[in-house]
Amino acid sequence: MVRIELMSWHEAREKASPIRFAVFVEEQRVPIEIEWDDQDAESLHALAYSAAGNAIATGRLLPDGHIGRMAVLKEWRGKGVGGAILERLVATARERGDQEIELFAQTHALAFYRSHGFVENGEIFEEAGIPHQAMKRKLWTIAKASP
C-alpha cells in the first residue's frame, strides 16, 4: 500500500531531492544546475511512501496547472506508484478549480500519460537532451443544454 502526501517544497525537499537526483541526474544525466529551479518553492509537491515509510516517488503541481518532476525510484516502477502520484496531483488541480493541466512528458512515457487521459499537444522537443512531448488533460466538461 502506497501513501501519498501533499506538501510545500520546504516540507518535501529533504525526501524529494534524493529521488529526483537519483532519477534525473544519475540515471538520465540531466545537468544538476537545471534540475533545481525557483518553481519548486511555489509548487505543491506530492511524495509517495512505501508501507515501510520510505519516500519512493515524487511530483509537483505548479500554480499554472503544470505537472512536472515526476520521478519514481527504479525498484518501484511499474507498480502503480507513478499513476497514484499523477492522479493525486490531477485531483488537487481539479479541486482548486483548474480547468486543464499540462505536462512535458519524456517520449518513452507517452503511453503512461495517455492511459491517464493526457493527449499530445504540439511537436516533440528536446529538454536536457531528452525528447519530450507537451500533453494536456481537460479537467472540466461543460454539458450543453438541450434545446
Domain annotation covers residue 35: yes
Separation in Å, CA 94 to CA 46, 81, 108 = 15, 20, 26
Instruction: Note whether 21 and 35 are within 8 A (CB).
Output: yes
Domain annotation covers residue 110: yes
Domain annotation covers residue 57: yes
Q: Which residues contact 48 (CB under 8 A, 6 or more apart)?
A: 2, 3, 4, 55, 56, 57, 58, 72, 76, 81, 84, 85
Grid cell in block for residue 19:
529521488
- Cα separation, 11 vs 112, whole angstroms: 28
pTM: 0.90
Total of domains in the chain = 1
- pLDDT per position as a tens digit, 63-89: 999 999 999 999 999 999 999 999 999
Domain annotation covers residue 17: yes
| CATH number, residue 10 | 3.40.630.30
Report the pLDDT averaged over residues 32-54: 93
Domain annotation covers residue 107: yes
- pLDDT per position as a tens digit, 16-34: 999 999 999 999 999 888 8
In 32-145, which ranges are E strands?
Answer: 44-49, 55-61, 66-72, 100-106, 119-127, 130-138
Domain annotation covers residue 97: yes
pLDDT band at 144 (very low <50, low <70, confident <90, very high): low
- Cα separation, 18 vs 117, whole angstroms: 29
Q: Which domain, by its residues, includes 118?
A: 3-138
Three-state DSSP at 146 gives coil
Is residue 127 pLDDT above 80, yes or no? yes
Domain annotation covers residue 63: yes
Domain annotation covers residue 133: yes
